[in-house]
């Protein structure tokens, strides 16, 4: 698995980070497994993995942890459990 850190090897299940819409397009990847312990670490990791090309999308992004808006949980301090799913959406709307 691309970019998997050593810490991951010792863990059975780790959170999955899913990228959507223009963020996915900029990153060139749909999802990745992460050893992040909270949302802040996920964001750091995304920025580290993909560099400047994704930074602007992360500024006002919407983050769901298992379908719940992290903003209504503990924001960036929201802790992640094994098998959690973190979905990151750039600001978007349609309809």
Partner 1 sequence: MKGGNWGKVLKVDLTTGKIETEELPEQHYRDFLGGSGLAAKWFFDHRGWEADPLSPENPLMIMNGPLSGTSYPGVSRLEICARSPLTGIWGEASMGGHFSPQLKRTGYDGIIVLGASEKPVYLYVTDEGAEIRDASHLWGKDTYETEELLKEEVGDKRAQVICIGPAGENLVKYANVMNDRGSTAGRCGMGAVMGYKRLKAVVARGNKKYPVADEAGFKAAREKMSETLKFSMVAEGLHAFGSNVHMEYGMAIGDTPVKNWREAYWAEGPEKLGGTTVAEKILTRTHSCFACPIACKRIVEIKEGPYRMEEGPGSEYEAAAALGTLQRMDSLEANHKANELCNRYGMDVISCGGVIAYATEAFEEGLIKEEDTGGLRLGWNRPDVLLELIRRIAFREGIGDDMAEGVRSMAEKYGGQEFAIHVKGLECPMHDPRALWGMALTYATSIRGACHCADSNLYVDLGLLNHNELGVKRSWPYRAKGKAAQTIASQKKGVIANSAVICQYAWNASGGSLADMAEALRTLTGFGYTVEELAKVGDRIWYLKRAIGNLCGATREDDRLPRRILEPHPEGVTSSLHLALYPQFMSMVPMGKMRVEKVKDTTVNLMKKYLFPNMDKILTSLNKLPMFSLSRKKLQQGDPAERQRRTVAFDEMLEEYYRLRDIDEKGRPSRRRLEELGLQDVAEVLHG
Interface residues with partner 1 (CB under 8 A)?
20-22, 24-25, 56-57, 60, 62, 64, 66-69, 71-72, 81-85, 87, 89-95
Q: Taking the complex as a whole, how short is the minimal distance between the CB of residue 32 and partner 1, in angstroms?
A: 17
Nearest to 32 by CA among 59, 8, 10: 8
Separation between Cα atoms, residue 56 and residue 59, nearest integer Å: 6
Separation between Cα atoms, residue 13 and residue 95, nearest integer Å: 36
Q: Taking the complex as a whole, how short is the minimal distance between the CB of residue 85 and partner 1, in angstroms?
A: 7
- Closer to partner 1 by Cβ: residue 6 or 63: 63
């Amino acid at each position: 698995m691309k970019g998997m850190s050593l810490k991951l090897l010792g863990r059975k299940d780790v959170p999955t980070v899913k990228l959507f819409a223009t963020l996915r397009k900029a990153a060139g990847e749909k999802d990745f497994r992460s050893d992040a312990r909270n949302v802040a670490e996920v964001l750091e990791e995304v920025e580290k993995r993909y560099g400047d090309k994704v930074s602007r999308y992360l500024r006002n992004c919407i983050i769901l942890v298992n379908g719940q808006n992290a903003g209504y949980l503990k924001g960036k301090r929201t802790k992640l459990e094994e098998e959690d799913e973190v979905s990151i959406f750039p600001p978007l709307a349609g309809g």
